[in-house]
Amino acid sequence: MAKCPEIKHPFAYYTQKKVTNIDIGTILSDAYRDWAWGDGRNEFPEELFCEDYEGDIYLKHKIADFFKGLNIVNQREFTKEIEALKKIRPHSIVTTNYDNIINNIFPDYEVIVGQQIIRLANGSIGEIFKIHGSCDEPESIVINKNDYDIFLSKKKYLSAKLLTFFSEHPLIFIDYSIEDENIKEILSDIDEILSEGGGLISNIYILHRDADLNDNAYPSREALIPIDNNKSIRVKRIVSNDFTWVFDAFSDNPTINNFDPKVLRALLARSYKLIRTDIPKNPVQIDYKRLSSIANESNELPRLYGITDASTPEAFNSNYPFSLTRLGQALGFKGWHGANDLLQNVKEITGVDLKSSDNKYHCAIMNGEIKMSSRYSNEEKELLILVKDGKKFSLDMG
Domain ranges for the chain: 11-68, 75-250, 263-307, 317-388
Nearest to 232 by CA among 269, 198, 277, 271: 198
Distance between alpha carbon 197 and the CA centroid of its chain, in Å?
A: 32
| Helix 21-36, helix 145-153: angle, nearest 10 | 120
Nearest to 124 by CA among 154, 90, 97: 90
Per-residue pLDDT tens listing for the chain (398 residues): 568 999 999 999 999 999 998 999 999 999 999 999 999 999 999 999 999 999 999 999 999 999 998 877 557 788 888 889 988 888 888 888 999 999 989 988 889 898 776 666 555 678 898 989 999 999 999 999 999 888 888 777 777 767 777 667 778 888 766 666 666 777 777 777 665 556 677 788 888 888 888 777 788 888 888 877 677 888 888 888 889 999 998 887 655 555 566 666 666 666 656 655 655 666 555 555 555 655 565 555 555 555 545 455 555 666 788 889 999 999 999 889 999 999 999 999 998 899 888 888 988 775 545 556 788 999 999 999 999 999 998 888 76
Q: How many residues does the chain have?
A: 398
Nearest to 123 by CA among 86, 183, 163, 171: 163
Query: What span, in angstroms and rounded, lies between the C-alpha atoms of 286 and 13?
Result: 68
User: Could you write out the DSSP letters of every residue in 188-216?
Assistant: HHHHHHH-STT-EEEEEEEEEE-TT--TT
Q: What is the pLDDT of residue 233?
A: 82
List, in sequence order, every residue forming a beta bridge with 366; answer none if it has no partner. Answer: 372
Q: Which long-range contacts (CB under 8 A, 24 or more apart) does 319-323 make?
A: 319/363, 319/377, 320/362, 320/363, 320/375, 320/376, 320/377, 321/375, 321/376, 321/377, 321/378, 322/375, 322/376, 322/377, 322/378, 322/380, 322/381, 323/373, 323/374, 323/375, 323/376
Secondary element (H or E) of residue 363: strand 362-366
Nearest to 28 by CA among 45, 13, 48, 46: 13
Q: What is the pLDDT of residue 9?
A: 92
Query: What span, in angstroms and rounded, lies between the C-alpha atoms of 162 and 129?
Result: 10
Residues in contact with 264: Cβ distance below 8 Å, sequence separation at least 6, in sequence order: 125, 126, 256
